[in-house]
Structure 1
C-alpha cells in the first residue's frame, strides 16, 4: 500500500505538457570564436537579462548553479537568484544546484525562503554534491567526507524545510535545540520544493527513491536510453519504499543549442563545449561523440528546431519526465546567440513539445 509522499512537491501541471526551463552554471569563459571574455559584472547582468528574456518567451523555469572555481561568477548564486526573483514575475526559479555538502542547511533555507518571499512563491532548491571538488578545501571541508557530508546535510535541509522548530544532532555541525528557523514561505506548507540532484551514480538515484524526494538528473552526452536505468531505479525504489512514484517529479538537464541548420548548430556550438570543458573539467568533449549527437536518440539537444523537438519527445517517451532544463550559455556563448535560441524555443520548440506531451486530466 502506498503512503502519501511526505515531502513538499513542486507544482507541475501535467495537463500543460512537459515543463521547459533554462539553467546556467554561471561560467565566465571566453568566446572560443573571438577569444573575448566579457567582464564579470556584465556576465552576471546577462544572466539576469537571460532570465527576463526567457520569461517573456514563455519558458517555465530558470535555474542558477553554484561554483567556486576559476572561470565562474556564480559563487553567490542565491544573490543572483534574488535579483532574478525581483526582475521576473511568473517563471519558477531554482538553485541548480546548491552544493549542500559545503553549505549550512539553516542558511540555505533562510536564503531560499527569502527569495521565495521576494518572488511571490516561485522558489525551489536543487541540492547537489559538486562535480568540481576544489570548493571543499576552499570552504574548509574534508573531501574524504564527500558522501557523509551530503547525506547528513541534505537530511537536515529537509527537516528544516518541513519543520519551523527543529531539534537535530549530527556529526558535522553543532546540534539544534528547538531552533526556530525563519523566514518561512507563505504557502500552505510553510516550506519549499527540494530536489535531489543525481549525477552518474545508480546509488544516488536509489537514495533519492528511498527518500521519496523529486530527482534532478543532468546529462552530458551519449545515447538517451543509457540514462533511463537511473530513472527507472529511482521510481522502483520509491515504490518499494511505499511512496506513490507517479507523484514524484523527475527533471533532466543537458546541453542545448539550436540553429535553423543542424550542421551549422554543431559547427558553431562545438567550440564552446569543447573549450569550456577543457577549462572547467580538465579535458575537452570528444568531437566524434559530439557529432553523434545529430542522431535523434542522443541526449545532446543540439540541432535545428525540428530535430530538437524529435529529440525531446523521444526523451520524454523514454523517461516520462516532468521537466527538461536546457543549458545553452556554456562556454562563452554570446548574448545575441542566447536570445536567438530563446526566440526559437518560444516560437517553435515550446509549442510543439507542449502539444505532444500534454496529459489530459492530470495535474
Structure 2
C-alpha cells in the first residue's frame, strides 16, 4: 500500500479582508506541501481540476509541472481530470509532457467531476455524460498503447494519424479512473484495464468492500493481470500530536466547505453530529495522532486490501502550518507504522 495526498487548492474567506485568500498564496502553499510530501517519502500527490472561487485550481498539469521542478521521487497526478469536457488527445499530450519533465513520475486520474462548472464554462452538454466519458476512455486507452491511431466516435471528430507525441518516458502513462458508488462504474474501469480510485466521503470505506471486490472480479474476467492494476481510497484526514486539535481543526474547515456544496446540490445540511459520525470509529474522515491515523488506515486496509490511501488535508483551507505538520507526521510516523502490512514501504 502507498500513502499520498490530494488537494483541490481549497480557498476560504479571510476574516481580515472579507475576501477569498489570494490565488497566488494558495498556489505557493500547495507547492510547499508537495515538496514536503516528497521529502518525507509519501508516494503520490494529486491535484484536482475545478473552476470556482473556493477551488481556484483549473489547470492541474501546470501546477504539477511546477511541482516536478522541486521534487524528485513523489508521483504527480490529477485528482481528477474532467474527461467529458476535455479532449483525450490533449490530455494525453499534456500528461506525457509532464511525465518527461518529471522523469517518469506522472499519472492521470480520469473522472466526470464532482461539480458541473466545467460543463457550463465550456458550453458542454450535460446529457449523455456517462456515454461520452466511456467513449473518451476508450480513445485515451488507445492513445496510451501507442502506434497508429484510427478512431471515430460520436463526441469528437475521427482521428487517423500515425501516432501522437510526445510519448511517456516508459512508453505508457499510469492511468486511474475515479469510480462511483454503482457497480457499473467499477465494471467500466475494470474492463478497460484502468486502476480504480474510490472516494468514500460519506459512507465508511469498509461498507463499500463489495464495490472493490466487484472491480477485481470484473478485471480478472476481462483478462487483466491484477498485479498491474491498483485500487486506491480517497478521503479526508488530518494528523496531529494532539488528537483533539486534529479533530477540531478539521471540523472548523470541513463544515463551511460541505455546507456550501450541500446548498448548491439541495442536500440536507451537515452538522456536528454528522461530523462526529464520519470522523470516529469506521467513518471516512481520519483525524488524530499518528498512531490513531495508522490504526484507522490499517482497519480499512483489512477490509479492502487497497494499494493506495490518499488524504485531503486542506479541505476548506485548513491553516498551512497544520497541513505542513500533518504531512510531516504522515510520512515520518504514520507510514513506518504501516510497514508491517507488507506492501506499504517507506522510501530511503
Q: Shift of the alpha carbon at 1:35?
A: 6.7
**Equivalent in the alignment of 2:129:** 146
**Equivalent in the alignment of 2:292:** 307
| 1:289 to 2:274 alignment | yes
Question: Any idea what SS the aligned residue of 2:128 has?
Answer: helix
Stretches of structure 2 lacking an aligned partner (at least 5 in a row)? none
For the aligned residues, what is the CA RMSD?
2.1
Structure 1 CA distance, aligned partners of 2:235 and 2:16? Answer: 22
Specify whether residues 35 and 271 from structure 1 end up closer, same or farther in structure 2 by C-alpha distance, changes over 3 A only. farther
| 1:356 to 2:333 alignment | no
Map Cα deviations across residues 5-30 of structure 1 (whole Å, 9 max, x no partner): xxxxxxxxxxxxx2110110122223
Question: Any idea what SS the aligned residue of 2:45 has?
Answer: strand
Structure 1 CA distance, aligned partners of 2:84 and 2:249? Answer: 36
Q: 1:266, 1:291 within 8 Å by CA — same for their partners in 2? A: no
Map Cα deviations across residues 322-344 of structure 1 (whole Å, 9 max, x no partner): 11111101101111111111121
| 1:200 to 2:185 alignment | no
Runs of 4+ in 1 over 6 A off after TM superposition: 31-36
Of the structure 1 ranges 278-287 and 63-72, higher mean CA displacement relative to structure 2 is found in 278-287
Specify whether residues 179 and 288 from structure 1 end up closer, same or farther in structure 2 by C-alpha distance, changes over 3 A only. farther
Aligned equivalent of 2:308, options 295, 319, 323? 323
Q: Shift of the alpha carbon at 1:218?
A: 1.1
Structure 1 CA distance, aligned partners of 2:69 and 2:305? Answer: 33
Map Cα deviations across residues 70-101 of structure 1 (whole Å, 9 max, x no partner): 32221111111111111211111111111111
Map Cα deviations across residues 87-135 of structure 1 (whole Å, 9 max, x no partner): 2111111111111110011111111011101000100111111110122
Specify whether residues 233 and 121 from structure 1 end up closer, same or farther in structure 2 by C-alpha distance, changes over 3 A only. same
Structure 1 CA distance, aligned partners of 2:210 and 2:322? Answer: 34
**Equivalent in the alignment of 1:277:** 258
Q: 1:33, 1:271 within 8 Å by CA — same for their partners in 2? A: no
Question: Any idea what SS the aligned residue of 1:215 has?
Answer: strand
**Equivalent in the alignment of 2:49:** 66
| 1:347 to 2:328 alignment | no
**Equivalent in the alignment of 1:224:** 205
**Equivalent in the alignment of 2:221:** 240
| Paired positions, count | 341
Question: Any idea what SS the aligned residue of 2:178 has?
Answer: strand
Question: Any idea what SS the aligned residue of 2:6 has?
Answer: strand
| 1:119 to 2:102 alignment | yes
Q: 1:293, 1:302 within 8 Å by CA — same for their partners in 2? A: no
Q: 1:273, 1:285 within 8 Å by CA — same for their partners in 2? A: no
Question: Any idea what SS the aligned residue of 1:131 has?
Answer: coil
Q: Shift of the alpha carbon at 1:174?
A: 0.8
Structure 2 CA distance, aligned partners of 1:24 and 1:166? Answer: 34
Structure 2 CA distance, aligned partners of 1:159 and 1:116? Answer: 18
Higher relative contact order (CA 8 A, sep 6+): 1
Structure 1 CA distance, aligned partners of 2:14 and 2:108? Answer: 30
